[in-house]
Amino acid sequence: MSVNVDMENLNIDDIENLILTRKSDMSFSEINKMIKDLEQHYFELNDDMILNIVNVLNTDKRKNIKNLSKSLSNFMLKTRKEINRVEKMYKFDKSFGNCIYTAGVDEVGRGPLAGPIAAGAVVFDLNYKDQRELAFGIKDSKKLSAKKREEISEVIKEKALSYNIAIINNKEIDERGISWCNNEVLKRAVKGLKIPVNLVLSDGYAVKNLDIDNEFIIKGDSKSASIAAGSIIAKVYRDNLMKEYAKNYPQYNFSNNSGYGTKEHIAAIKKYGICKLHRLSFLKNIL
């Protein structure tokens, strides 16, 4: 490289200046590293800077440099689209009133043949001052891969003002019934939050006997930031719990089916019988 700079200690302005004035002196790998650095600091960039860099890279005779121009442009468009999408979910939660703290709550594991039902409750700062405070990636947990849910669950825990996960085991499900447990686990998730909330948003139906204002939203996990977040952290927690249970009961393949009634799981029940994690009230048509 003929440009005499320390590649490890460049700031945004340095990178912009080098690309705009001396790109011809730099190799693909050097420019590529600068572009990656820019992407890591996209909140510090402005539209004019990005447009200038994209245009300058696009004038380069090297095809791989032109591709970097397209890559940077696509990255920024995708990032801004994600910011707008997540902000819309936050604004949806805020639209229910000027509450000090609003919690979103959702449950997972209502239907499996084994294991607990779980619920997650999350409180975000809906009056955030900086877009970097947003929990990017949140959406309906069913639309995320297991790996992505794990990653986003950590983001949620980092960004949330408070979060809590509650579970009710299979024995209590058998004793009290799934409907009661479904409602109760939502209540416990909310009640376990470390800050007092003024409003609870729930997915699909109201939480009964909750002494806090409650709004229920149809398909709330695709509209509300806090409901989606609650669903994600509960799903990740429960799936990981079932993977731990699978170590003691490998014959049921809990690590892959999470206790749901797959053909393989049902066949294992018929072959090996039940274990202490099974919901007897769910097995009447199987045993």
Distance (Å, rounded) from C-alpha 233 to C-alpha 58?
Answer: 42
Residue 19, both tokens: 């690309």
Phi and psi for 28 in degrees, rounded to 5? -60, -45
C-beta of residue 90 within 8 angstroms of C-beta of residue 160: no
Phi and psi for 245 in degrees, rounded to 5? -65, -35
Q: Does the annotation flag 130 for ligand binding?
A: no
Beta bridge partners of 202: 105, 216
| Strands 162-168 vs 117-123: parallel, antiparallel or unpaired | antiparallel
Q: Does the annotation flag 14 for ligand binding?
A: no
Distance (Å, rounded) from C-alpha 78 to C-alpha 118?
Answer: 33
Q: Which long-range contacts (CB under 8 A, 24 or more apart) does 124-132 make?
A: 124/90, 124/93, 124/159, 124/160, 124/161, 124/225, 124/226, 124/229, 125/161, 126/90, 126/93, 126/94, 126/102, 127/94, 128/90, 130/43, 131/43, 131/83, 131/87, 132/43
Query: Which residue type occupies 139?
Result: K
Distance (Å, rounded) from C-alpha 237 to C-alpha 287?
Answer: 29
Q: Does the annotation flag 203 for ligand binding?
A: yes
Residue 105, both tokens: 């709550």
Q: Is 23 exposed, middle or buried (CB count within 10 Å of its CB: 0-12, 13-18, 19+)?
A: buried
Query: Which residue type occupies 40?
Result: Q
Binding-site residues from annotation:
106-107, 203
Binding-site residues from annotation for a divalent metal cation:
106-107, 203
